[in-house]
């Protein structure tokens, strides 16, 4: 069965973006590039909620915008991904993206049974909540940055129940960041 990983970079106080959507605190490095390159080689499917999709579409991740040309992860060799956009309000999706408008948990649990590589859930605290509730998330991966944002977009929204996790990896990477991966134990 395929594995669904919910992951992101986050501040030490658990935010994936500042209150104004700012991500200028993210630290890109050769360590991050290596981790991302290795991870992307293991997945062929991306899941995004509407808010994450809209946020991503509005970002400029070019070398000029980030100012980190040598450290910006190079995903040019990454094979094309199958992308699913989850929304109850959108009526159509961009070309090459499949819109899913109901029963996210059931959809993802069926998707996990199909042949393929791993599945990446990007951002999306609301979507992640419904997928945790459906037992569809298998791993949580965090790149914790040494910064306290105080407020912003939380990585985790309040959950309806307690979810046990088992640590499978923890290591320090460049910039004082800590990479942690947990297996979800339902």
Beta-carbon neighbour count of residue 133 at 10 Å? 15
pLDDT digits (tens, 9 = 90+) for 10-69: 999 999 999 988 999 999 999 999 999 999 999 999 999 988 888 777 655 444 444 444
Average confidence score pLDDT of the chain: 88
pLDDT digits (tens, 9 = 90+) for 76-97: 555 579 999 999 999 988 889 9
178 and 172 Cβ atoms separated by less than 8 Å = yes
Whole-model pTM: value is 0.86
Task: Compute φ and ψ for 121, nearest 5 degrees.
Answer: -95, 115
């Amino acid at each position: 069965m395929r594995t669904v990983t919910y992951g992101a970079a986050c501040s030490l106080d658990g935010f994936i973006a500042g209150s104004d959507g700012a991500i200028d605190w993210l630290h890109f490095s050769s360590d991050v590039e290596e981790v991302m390159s290795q991870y992307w080689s293991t997945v062929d499917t991306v899941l995004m909620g509407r808010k994450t999709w809209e946020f991503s579409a509005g970002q400029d991740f070019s070398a000029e915008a980030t100012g980190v040309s040598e450290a910006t992860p190079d995903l040019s060799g990454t094979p094309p991904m199958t992308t699913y956009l989850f929304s109850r309000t959108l009526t159509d999706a961009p070309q090459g993206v499949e819109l899913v408008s109901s029963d996210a948990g059931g959809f993802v649990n069926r998707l996990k049974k199909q042949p393929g590589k791993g599945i990446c859930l990007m951002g999306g605290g609301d979507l992640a909540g419904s997928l945790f509730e459906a037992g569809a998330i298998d791993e949580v991966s965090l790149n914790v940055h040494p910064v306290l944002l105080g407020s912003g977009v939380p990585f985790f929204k309040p959950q309806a129940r307690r979810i046990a996790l088992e640590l499978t990896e923890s290591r320090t990477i460049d910039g004082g960041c800590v990479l942690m991966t947990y297996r979800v134990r339902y």
